Structure formats: C-alpha cells, structure tokens
Amino acid sequence: MQLIELRAENFKRLVAVRFRPTGAVTPITGKNGAGKSSVLDAIASALGGGALAPELPIRAGQTRAEVELDLGDIVVRRKWTAKGSTLEVLAKDGASYKSPQAVLDRLVGELSFDPLAFGRMKPSEQAATLAKVAGADLDAHKAERQRLFDQRAAVNRQAKELAGALALMARVPDGTPDEEVSLTAVLDELKAAEQGQREYDLVRRTKEAALLKFEAQGKRVAALRAELAEQEKLWAEMERESQSAAERLAAAPRPLDPEPIRQRGREAEGLNKAVRAKALRANREREAAAKAAESEALSAALSAHDAALETQLAAAPLPVPGLGIQAGGVTLGGIPFSQCSGAERLRASVAIALALNPKLKLMLIRDGSLLDDDGMRLLDELAAGAGAQVLIERVADGKAVGVRIVDGEVAAEAAEADEAKAA
C-alpha cells in the first residue's frame, strides 16, 4: 500500500497543501518555519490518531483542520474542530469502515519510528525503543534489578557484620560441654556426702570406744581376778557388742570423698562462662551461614532476571540480519551500533523502520538536513529496493527540490509540475 496523495488544510502551519509523492524518496523542502514538519505531522496524526497528534492541530485563527490521505485501497480523512477530532476510513467504493482506527492500526506499525532519529539516540535509548517493540519493559526490568541488587547489598552488609563479630569473640576451650553445671545439684551432692561422712565417723568412733573399753576391761580382768567370773560375763557381753559394732562398720557404705566435688563447685563458674560463649558462638555461626546462603540465592536471582531479559530481547521479532538487542544497547553484527559506519547505521535503521511497517511502507524523516548527498543516494537506493516511500524534511532556501513548502503551502512551481505530471 502506498501514499498516493496528501491533502491538508489548516493543520498546524499549513494553509492548504496537496501533493503526490514521486519516486521512493520525496524531499519536503523549504525555509525554517515554512511548514515542512507540519506536513509530516499531518500524515502521522491522520494515521496514528491521538498519540501522534500535536497539542494544537488547528491553524491559529481557523476553526477546523482536515487531512486526507489517499492510500489507493482506502482513503483516510481526519478532521479537527474545537470539539475534538473525527476519523473516516473509506473503501474504494466509498463505503466507510465501522471501526476506522482499528483498520489503520492493523495497517500502520510504528509510524513514529524515524530511522535518522534512531541512529542518533543513546545506546540505552535505542535498546529501550527496540525492546518496547519486542514487548519488554526495560524500566521495569531496571527497577526490579535495582531492588534485587540493593537487597543483596544489605544482606552482604549484615553477613560482614556477623563475620566481624565472630572474629572478635574469644576462643572456647576444647572439650567445653554444651550444658551448664547445676550448682544446686553439686551442693546437694556435697551435703549428702558430708552427712554420710558424719554418720560413718559416728559408727567408727563407737567401734573405737568399744574396743578401748574391751581392752580396759581385759586389764581389769587381770587385776580383778577375783571378780573374774562376774566380770567375764560382762566382758563376753562387751565382746559381742564390740563384734556387732565392727560388723556394722564393715557393712556401712564407704563415704564419698567430698574434695573432688568441692573442686567441681569451685570450677563451675568458669566452666559455665565457657558454655555460654560456646552457645553464643554457635548461634552466630549459624546466622552467618544463613546470610551467606541468602546472598548467594539473590545473586542467582539477579543472573536469572538478566538472562530472562536477554532471552526475550534475543527473540525480538525484528527481521534485520545481524541486529542484536541487549539491555545496554543495540549491536550490528556484534559491533555496538554507535561504532558502525553512517551507511551501516542508515541501512539497519531503514530496515527496522520497514520491519515495523510491513504493510504501509512509509517512513517520515524529520532531520533530513543531516544527511549528505551520499546518505541521500543510499536512502534512495534502500527505499527503492524495498518498494518503500520516504518523506524527508530538508531545509533548503533555493531551487525547488521535491515538494517545496512556502508559508504553509506548496510553492507554485512545484504544484504546477505536480499537476502537469498528474494530468
């Protein structure tokens, strides 16, 4: 589909303009302020509607503006009044379409894509422009990436603090138990041991006293032979008692040595300090390990996030050979776009523009004055080769080249030439 004829009235700077683009490249020429951009804007606004329309489409002092595009199979007519804009899309037989903007949206891709403007963008802007076409939101990606990055930085900070605290902690002696010693239990044990000792001493003293008595009695027996019979009875009794006491002593439980227990009591305080230090250290070690793991997981999430974007961009539907889109910029055959030659960039930019507008192969270029003669020749070659139309704005003072705009109108000589051609 081609732009066969443009007609515009009272749109921006334009008074009344009507022309037919000729050849692949149609320069729109004229002095500064003559109305060249108004011509390109008229086409973009008629096709793109609200998003591409200027703030003030109606020429000052007028009440209505109108742009009509003859695209061969259809005619597009958009009008602006103080109330707003209306759009009509007419078929060849004059019938109008019910949803005219939907018809245009199917026909027109990224009309606002200007190959020259694209070539001059910063690498990140170029990538963002193409990523948008590929359906990726680089800003959202950047924000999410920043969020993960900040989170990891905070976690790393905490991990470092924990490691620092660990390094400052005193070493715990080897063999320190996990549980604290119970001082009450030790005291109870000591009390029981002392009680046992007292009881044992009593039994022992009883036995010793009995033995002494028995011995004294023996001496008295010798001395009191006379009383022997009587005393022997007593003596025998005492012997029995003595024996029984000895048996009790033999049967009595051996008392525990209280000294080691006392020693454990004395050591308990220091030992318990070490136990607490050990527990604290183990706690810190667990926290440090957990933070390190968390940081690692976030690093993996960052990589996955970047990889997902790279994959989406790599699959972008732009049939331009050698074109690569990454988050940081656009490459051509692996070379950063800004390092490619002017011709290479123009070639790729035009190819992108064509890929974005496969049906209505129409490109609107605004800063055409930046292209030298070689650039214009290359553009002509590319557009002709692709069967595309280019309307390119170029500042020119002198002779009429292409469509010359003077004070919002097509200069007389060009209009006449155009009419002669049409006739």
Ligand X SMILES: Nc1ncnc2c1ncn2[C@@H]1O[C@H](COP(=O)(O)OP(=O)(O)OP(=O)(O)O)[C@@H](O)[C@H]1O
- Name the site residues for ligand X (rule: CB under 6 A): 12-13, 30, 32-38, 56, 58-60, 393, 395
**Which does residue 292 touch among Mg ion, ligand X, none (CB within 5 to 8 A, set by kind)?**
none
CB of 319 to ligand X, least distance (A): 32
CB of 147 to ligand X, least distance (A): 42
Residue 368: other Cβ atoms inside 10 A: 26
**Which does residue 109 touch among ligand X, Mg ion, none (CB within 5 to 8 A, set by kind)?**
none
- Specify the residue, 26 or 126, whose C-beta has the smaller distance to ligand X: 26
**Which does residue 35 touch among ligand X, Mg ion, none (CB within 5 to 8 A, set by kind)?**
ligand X
SS (H, E, C) the chain: CCCCEEEEECECCCCEEEECCCCCEEEEEECCCCCHHHHHHHHHHHHHHHHHCCCCCECCCCCCEEEEEECCCEEEEEEEECCEEEEEEEECCCCECCCHHHHHHHHCCCCCCCHHHHHHCCHHHHHHHHHHHCCCCHHHHHHHHHHHHHHHHHHHHHHHHHHHHHHHCCCCCCCCCCCCCCHHHHHHHHHHHHHHHHHHHHHHHHHHHHHHHHHHHHHHHHHCHHHHHHHHHHHHHHHHHHHHHHHHHHHCCCCCCHHHHHHHHHHHHHHHHHHHHHHHHHHHHHHHHHHHHHHHHHHHHHHHHHHHHHHHHHCCCCCCCCEEEECCEEEECCEEHHHCCHHHHHHHHHHHHHHHCCCCCEEEECCHHHCCHHHHHHHHHHHHHHCCEEEEEEECCCCCCCEEEECCEECHHHHHHHHHHHC
**Which does residue 311 touch among ligand X, Mg ion, none (CB within 5 to 8 A, set by kind)?**
none
**Which does residue 184 touch among ligand X, Mg ion, none (CB within 5 to 8 A, set by kind)?**
none
- Specify the residue, 30 or 324, whose C-beta has the smaller distance to Mg ion: 30
- Specify the residue, 386 or 395, whose C-beta has the smaller distance to ligand X: 395
**Which does residue 30 touch among ligand X, Mg ion, none (CB within 5 to 8 A, set by kind)?**
ligand X
Residue ranges binding Mg ion (CB under 5 A):
36-37
- Specify the residue, 68 or 393, whose C-beta has the smaller distance to ligand X: 393
CB of 30 to Mg ion, least distance (A): 9
CB of 396 to ligand X, least distance (A): 10
CB of 59 to ligand X, least distance (A): 4
CB of 37 to ligand X, least distance (A): 3
**Which does residue 382 touch among ligand X, Mg ion, none (CB within 5 to 8 A, set by kind)?**
none
- State both tokens at 268: 């308990």
CB of 296 to ligand X, least distance (A): 56
- Specify the residue, 37 or 151, whose C-beta has the smaller distance to ligand X: 37
- Specify the residue, 26 or 331, whose C-beta has the smaller distance to Mg ion: 26
Q: What residues form DSSP beta bridges with 332?
A: 323, 335
CB of 375 to ligand X, least distance (A): 18
- Specify the residue, 7 or 284, whose C-beta has the smaller distance to ligand X: 7
- Specify the residue, 53 or 298, whose C-beta has the smaller distance to ligand X: 53
